[in-house]
Structure 1
């Protein structure tokens, strides 16, 4: 894209309208803007209501792929719109490091993937998400914003179309949803280019009142995660006071 397009998807544009998130989501779901506004405030509770209670770790992937449906789009949209200042700082961090071939793993509604695709330093964004509705929505958003040529969507990292190495890996608000986040870290280490940067955060906590039932928090899982993180990656300082950290290979 040219300079105008890059500026259009900068942080200020995200703070203004979430990259046209409301209008794009209403159109994608084929509902009115009024219906969207009615559903957004209850989206987190609506998604939590789908949780089966005793969550089988081995079925977590299938749950996100088959069960949550479009409810995850609404919940993520509410989170990105309601926490715009926080998301904006993660976009600033991404602007600082993103370049070349970018993997957005578990990218949800695509805020970071779209912003990365608009950066001149980025050659291509590879958006990976289990939920087919998320993939379809992000592909539609990219096309509408003129970024279709720089962004493509896939179910998982095993797809042979993906490059063997990535210059930038973005994985935000995802690791706590995985039954084996340490294994995912090891895979990131294998696929990160020697001079690449991974932007990661996590929240292994089900909440004081169980408000995050989708999160895994078993002590042995968390310990394995941190042992892998500390053996495979070295943190790179950045100045933003957010939970997201930047890492290079150790």
Structure 2
């Protein structure tokens, strides 16, 4: 029987507040899901349907980590997000089925090489260099959906070195978690192990080595990240 040429990594896991581990297989991300963030980026929200990009599962890094300032960028941005975790298979779902498929929620950071993203956008190219790179998907512990409650009134906020930069509510989401799952399941067989980053509010901005990022959503475990020196 042929042998593998090299060892391959295991799926990364994210802890849950009830003491389990959630293996991450895929990471979907929703673009421009807060109107004010779209405005600050100089674009309009597409209200016909959400759109997506992806990050590799291996880019997961857990809260409390220190990550190096990434290569190839001079404009490294934070994006604070509500992340949902799929808990059972769902395909071409109704809104009811979509809601039932959400296992839980967590705080996440979609770290972004903004200059590379904007350069790609200007040329109508994919965003991979700006979005999908090492240690760009930061996660705190996941909380079961039943313990979090209905998405809407919760505050979502982020600070850098103690200074508030993002401050909004989940009610500001253009597309709700249920609507996102129902729509995305038209195109993918969603399954346990799929994380979905639901978009970021206005107030995104750059960080440099030495900065400490703190993000929080009412009812969820906060996410924290320290930016280290480039290497």
TM-score normalised by structure 2 residue count: 0.26
The structure with the greater share of residues assigned to helix is 1
Structure number with the bigger relative contact order (C-alpha 8 A, sep ≥ 6) is 2
The structure with the greater share of residues assigned to strand is 2
TM-score normalised by structure 1 residue count: 0.25
